[in-house]
Structure 1
């Protein structure tokens, strides 16, 4: 498990559905995301109410791409607030 900025990850699809299967609208799930201080560090960590985002490293392009587009969208929107 690695911690990286959600803004450093690309989407794997051009559009996403606005609802999580069991959690409801993305906008509602975003209200459950918390920001936590990291002990001994200057950065903060985003704590979502859902499992970690799965990533693929596309070595040829040098990018990270998600398999979880709705989760990434929620994290990116939260990070930009």
Structure 2
């Protein structure tokens, strides 16, 4: 794997709106879902670079998205969005 530039990961706990910075994330999913999430991130990066988008939501692209069974991924463009601290 190539070296990565600095990035941060943020999230919210179930039932909370408070944004917290995370040290790590774990994704529990089957291989098909892992590939779909990877494709979402690749496509989001391409669209942000091409169109200067601030962010994209996974929930906007998945036909059967449900907050009961899915977690929204939000890809934020670091060139536009400054990460929060803490």
TM-score by length of 1: 0.31
- Point out the structure with the larger strand share: 1
- Point out the structure with the larger helix share: 2
Higher relative contact order (CA 8 A, sep 6+): 1
